[in-house]
Amino acid sequence: MTPPPPDADPRTTASSDTATLQQLVNRLEEVAGRLRAEPLEPEEAARLVDECAHVASGASAELERLARVAASEPVPGQDQLL
């Protein structure tokens, strides 16, 4: 995901960031649910486990990105000293 432009509305940006993370969480829950619910061949189970790992890695990276963005934003009410 590319960073928003400097003049982007923070409310819209936060909403789209949250939507991206929510999509990853939904996908992870879906794949994990298939692992729990269905009798699977070992190859299919291994493929789903790999997919869970890939999606979880993406969610982790997105959380780290969101944390970096939040850390770089000034704390409300705190003016930057020059």
| pLDDT (tens place) for every residue of the chain, 82 residues total | 444 555 554 444 556 778 899 999 999 999 999 999 979 999 999 999 999 999 999 999 999 999 898 888 776 766 665 5
The end-to-end CA distance of the chain, in Å, is 32
Prediction pTM value:
0.66
Please, which contacts does 53-62 make with residues 24 or more away whose CB atoms are closer than 8 Å? 55/24, 55/27, 55/28, 55/31, 56/28, 58/24, 59/21, 59/24, 59/25, 59/28, 62/1, 62/17, 62/20, 62/21, 62/24
**What value does the CA radius of gyration of the chain take, rounded to a whole number of Å?**
18
